[in-house]
Amino acid sequence: MGKKIILFLMIFQSLVIQAQDFSISERKGTLKATGSFYPSKRFDAQVVEYFVGGNAEYFISNNYSFRGDIYGLVGQMKMASDANLNTSFILNYGFNKHFVKNRFNSFLGVFTGMTCFKKSFLELQYVPNAGLTIGTQFYFYDYFHFFAETRYIHHRSPYSNGNIDEISFTAGLGFQLPVKKLLGKKGI
């Protein structure tokens, strides 16, 4: 047991030493990806939906990035009988503005995309969506970061004149590759 603790401390110390060399100031050319669980609260009905999804993000400059997201519905908890509209998947793309301070990276993003609603087995309806993202990230190593974010998504209902608005939250461990650094300065 004691050998395992010593081994863990040695690995942790080497990560801390390597993390001290990591510079967040040069983000341009970095490709990031995350996968996570997204609980989502709908405001049109008493429904909590559970999505599994992820995103890929490319930094086009040190402070701006292009991001694409995809989420698939894996479960739902209905609190009322009027919650008869199921979301099957959500596909989004948009831009984020980053506010970097040391190892912390807060961001605000706007996006648009498409939502697929499933009312029955054979009845699918696709509608546009738009929304906002706000979050923060903490970079602790060249290739990994912690993240937490909240998303607001606005959809038009495909079956009525109303809106379907929802808010989701997620947090976890992300992965990034400094593509520009790996391919050389003139690569991308």
pLDDT tens digits, one per residue of 46-67: 788 899 999 999 999 989 999 9
Cβ-contact 51, 73 below 8 angstroms: yes
Cβ-contact 88, 118 below 8 angstroms: yes
pLDDT at residue number 1: 60
pLDDT at residue number 18: 45
- pLDDT, tens only, 115-171: 988 777 777 888 999 999 999 999 888 788 899 999 999 988 777 778 888 999 999
For 89, other C-beta atoms within 10 Å of its C-beta total 15
Residues 133 and 150: their CA atoms lie apart, in Å, by: 6
Using the predicted structure, report yes or no on whether residue 17 has a pLDDT greater than 50: no
Q: Where are the domains of the chain?
A: 2-183
What is the CATH code of the structural domain delimited by 2-183? 2.40.160.20
Instruction: Using alpha carbons, select from 57, 32, 18, 5 the residue that is nearest to residue 140.
Output: 18
Cβ-contact 155, 130 below 8 angstroms: no
133 CB-contact burial (10 Å; exposed 0-12 / middle 13-18 / buried 19+): buried
Instruction: Using alpha carbons, select from 148, 149, 147 the residue that is nearest to residue 174.
Output: 147
